[in-house]
């Protein structure tokens, strides 16, 4: 019997069981969670970043040489490349908000604030 690792994607709180050593990107696809990529998973585009707390980081294999080179000091801030980071235990990771969605959400909030001010 193969042990499975449970990967949870936040903030959607969607989980999937995967084989040990599965990349977070592959797990996200199985969980039907959208992580944007442009390079096809070869540590080239840096679009697949996820955030991992220090506590959760130990449930991922150490960064590959390519990942370490690409992320540099971001690794110390808990950023990992989902196409490179592989599970070694049950792990929860956060997907940063899409920059375009964040900008739209901010603009809508500002507009709502203005509308309330004029009432």
Contacting ligand FES within 49-108 (CB under 6 A): 81, 83
CA dihedral 56, 49, 34, 111 (to 10 degrees): 110
Contacting ligand FES within 21-60 (CB under 6 A): 37-39, 41, 43-48
Contact of 15 with 6, CB cutoff 8 Å = yes
Closest approach of Cβ 42 to ligand FES, in Å? Answer: 6
- Determine the Cα–Cα distance for residues 108 and 84; give it in Å rounded to an integer: 35
- Determine the Cα–Cα distance for residues 46 and 39; give it in Å rounded to an integer: 8
Nearer Cβ to ligand FES, position 4 or 78? 78
Alpha helix segments (H runs only) across 4-98? 24-30, 54-57, 65-71
Closest approach of Cβ 80 to ligand FES, in Å? Answer: 10
Nearer Cβ to ligand FES, position 59 or 67? 67
Contact footprint for ligand FES (CB under 6 A): 37-39, 41, 43-48, 81, 83
């Amino acid at each position: 019997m193969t042990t499975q690792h449970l990967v949870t994607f936040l903030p959607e709180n969607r989980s999937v069981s995967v084989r040990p050593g599965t990349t977070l990107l592959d797990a996200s696809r199985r969980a039907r969670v959208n992580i944007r990529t442009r390079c096809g998973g070869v540590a080239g585009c840096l679009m697949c970043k996820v955030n991992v707390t220090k506590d959760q980081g130990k449930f991922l294999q150490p960064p590959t040489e390519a990942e370490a080179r690409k992320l540099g000091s971001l690794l110390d801030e808990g950023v990992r490349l989902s196409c490179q980071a592989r599970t070694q235990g049950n792990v929860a990771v956060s997907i940063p908000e899409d920059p375009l969605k964040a900008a739209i959400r901010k603009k809508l909030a500002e507009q709502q604030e203005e509308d309330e001010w004029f009432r």
